[in-house]
Chain A
């Protein structure tokens, strides 16, 4: 990875908790609490975690669909948070998003043509109606839909087909980066694989960069080059996809991987079953956020938050098990 396309430093999104008639802020829900990563051009960066870990919020703050509370987002060398509204609108040509819900993300009152045409109109990307129609047909073709159906409404399409429409709409502005927020979670397995293959093909054809957000580890592992694991608003581990699977360092990642049901009745299962539930992000535990559920928790974990460090080339983790004063190389022996 030479020059990153997108760089995120210490990204924060705190949602204030307001009480009383004067809406006094009594606390903050730390949905995203200091997340840093970089994504190279043409790469797929996977963001994985359980509900409430802040992965979706992270995706949306990158596009400023939700305004971040703190941190720095650099896209092609430009500070995204400093852009004016007009500049941000122009920037949206470069960064697009595909949503999870293939039902809710398309306006039921727009035909497929209108939906895909909308970005062309907003950004003045096609001068005439005929040209727009040609472009819509081309985009539908790209995502594997028959252009003859462009005047139909979304409800006439299946979930997988709607997700293709959503992708075509995002592609209309020829973006460089697409944030895919759980794009296949609502789909059946056989359809899910169709959409994943399509996203793969498009990436190769159009040299797209993806940030792929999902809770399904096998899906993220399949599509991503590198993966970041989030827990309670923080990034706990980041590594190459194969590395992360072969050698998960953070106890949470280990538990998460071991919990995935394997479609093989004879698979060996040394499952780590996590105790308890996710703590509230409004009132996270002291020290390492994961320590109350961690099988390897030590005294230091209860008082001090672990540092984010690179323990192997390209493999980052935030865990006291890998502190330098403890040798910093536990991963070699485990």
Chain B
């Protein structure tokens, strides 16, 4: 069977004063039904550009230059805005990091949920409200009958994110893109939201593309993981591959940088240096300047994605010659 979402060799560039510069390059991955794919990386790695590319919500100076984005076998690249609008919010829904600014402050909660329904289905006003209450119940909002008539500012951050999820769920999407959905929330509230997302995924066999910088969230939520660095996929695999057998020096460094709750560490490992800027992208491996294992070859040539196991690939010369 086809994958729910299959991205192949995606290259998205942005127009700068120095011409089009790629923010992501040669990015490929897929998401299946009922599965959560984590896209993880630090700021500037291109994870958000990837999600916006899939939704085709890039800012005016950005464009997809190469690659295909197949949703249920249909290529989304090159679809008109009108065609895309029929898919957005209906088949593919998205939630963002900032639940404060994602809701319109001048409309009632119920109206904002019904809005999404009105666009994609022909629902009467009364039905819209009834459905909104159902959806609020679904995402675990207490007193849903009263909350539909409230304005967003009356709700806490966690509640607003639940409302955003309710809006995303309105048309029963097949794919949910969640871009740092819990980053702005406190840890106890984050636990509530992650719990909710896990439950919805199981109940509805929805695919989730979860974009985050938090490896803890990835370990808890994801079935498979894509690690990005400076616009490239550097490693991908099943969640256990990534955490049990991290193979890219960047993934290893990232995992070692996290302070562990369970053990007492005298010193944290850290990755020296910073991410290269888009204008000054190195020719070879983009991680070479910060890599403890870098050789002269890494500086000049770029490694391809090499297999570690059937489910696990890494973009690093260290894998060469190692038997799979």
Which residues of A approach B to under 8 Å, CB–CB? 50-51, 158, 160-161, 188-194, 196-197, 200, 215-219, 221-223, 242, 245, 255-267, 269, 271, 273-274, 276-278
Nearest residue, chain A, Cβ from B192: A273
Q: Are B265 and A262 in contact (CB under 8 A)?
A: no
B149 at interface by CB-CB < 8 Å: no
Residues on B with beta carbons closer than 8 Å to the beta carbon of A242: 264
Residues on B with beta carbons closer than 8 Å to the beta carbon of A245: 261-262
Residues on A with beta carbons closer than 8 Å to the beta carbon of B255: 263
B323 at interface by CB-CB < 8 Å: no
> Given the known A-B contacts A188-B43, A215-B186, A267-B219, are A278 and B213 also in contact in the complex, defined by CB atoms under 8 Å?
no
Nearest residue, chain A, Cβ from B277: A158
Q: Are B264 and A259 in contact (CB under 8 A)?
A: no
B243 at interface by CB-CB < 8 Å: yes
> Given the known A-B contacts A217-B261, A218-B259, A261-B217, are A200 and B267 also in contact in the complex, defined by CB atoms under 8 Å?
yes
- The 5 lowest CB-CB distance pairs between A and B, nearest first, are A261-B216, A222-B259, A193-B270, A50-B186, A188-B42
B215 at interface by CB-CB < 8 Å: yes
B254 at interface by CB-CB < 8 Å: yes
| 18 further contact pairs, Cβ within 8 A, besides A245-B261, A255-B188 | A158-B274, A160-B274, A188-B43, A190-B42, A190-B257, A190-B270, A193-B257, A197-B267, A217-B187, A256-B188, A261-B219, A261-B220, A262-B216, A262-B220, A263-B243, A263-B258, A265-B240, A278-B156
Q: How far is the CA of A217 from the CA of B189 in the complex (A)?
A: 14
Residues on B with beta carbons closer than 8 Å to the beta carbon of A189: 42, 213, 215, 254, 257-258
Residues on B with beta carbons closer than 8 Å to the beta carbon of A258: 191
The listed residue (B187, B195, B216, B271) touching A263 by CB distance below 8 A is B216
Residues on A with beta carbons closer than 8 Å to the beta carbon of B265: 222
Can you list 13 A-B contacts (CB < 8 A)? A50-B186, A161-B274, A188-B42, A188-B213, A189-B257, A194-B270, A194-B272, A215-B186, A218-B258, A245-B262, A265-B219, A277-B159, A277-B189
Distance of B217 from chain A, by nearest CB (Å): 5
B218 at interface by CB-CB < 8 Å: yes
Which residues of B approach A to under 8 Å, CB–CB? 42-43, 142, 156, 158-159, 186-192, 194-195, 213-220, 239-240, 243, 253-255, 257-262, 264-265, 267-272, 274
Q: How far is the CA of A115 from the CA of B268 in the complex (A)?
A: 29
Q: Are B240 and A266 in contact (CB under 8 A)?
A: yes
Residues on B with beta carbons closer than 8 Å to the beta carbon of A216: 187
The listed residue (B217, B261, B270, B274) touching A218 by CB distance below 8 A is B261
The listed residue (A161, A196, A266, A278) touching B268 by CB distance below 8 A is A196
Q: Are A197 and B219 in contact (CB under 8 A)?
A: no
Nearest residue, chain A, Cβ from B253: A190
Residues on B with beta carbons closer than 8 Å to the beta carbon of A277: 156, 158-159, 189
Nearest residue, chain A, Cβ from B238: A265
Distance of A266 from chain B, by nearest CB (Å): 7
Q: Are A263 and B218 in contact (CB under 8 A)?
A: yes
Residues on B with beta carbons closer than 8 Å to the beta carbon of A278: 156, 186
Q: How far is the CA of A215 from the CA of B188 in the complex (A)?
A: 11
Nearest residue, chain A, Cβ from B218: A263
Q: Are A262 and B259 in contact (CB under 8 A)?
A: no
Nearest residue, chain B, Cβ from A277: B156
Nearest residue, chain A, Cβ from B240: A265
Q: How far is the CA of A265 from the CA of B225 in the complex (A)?
A: 11
Residues on A with beta carbons closer than 8 Å to the beta carbon of B188: 50, 255-256, 259, 273-274
Residues on A with beta carbons closer than 8 Å to the beta carbon of B243: 263-265
Q: How far is the CA of A215 from the CA of B239 in the complex (A)?
A: 26
Residues on B with beta carbons closer than 8 Å to the beta carbon of A265: 219-220, 239-240, 243
Q: Are B186 and A51 in contact (CB under 8 A)?
A: yes
Q: How far is the CA of A188 from the CA of B213 in the complex (A)?
A: 8
Q: How far is the CA of A98 from the CA of B217 in the complex (A)?
A: 28
Q: How far is the CA of A245 from the CA of B262 in the complex (A)?
A: 8
Nearest residue, chain A, Cβ from B264: A242
> Given the known A-B contacts A51-B186, A196-B268, A261-B214, are A191 and B274 also in contact in the complex, defined by CB atoms under 8 Å?
yes
Q: Are B254 and A190 in contact (CB under 8 A)?
A: yes
Distance of A73 from chain B, by nearest CB (Å): 28
Residues on B with beta carbons closer than 8 Å to the beta carbon of A261: 190-191, 194, 214, 216-217, 219-220
Distance of B234 from chain A, by nearest CB (Å): 13
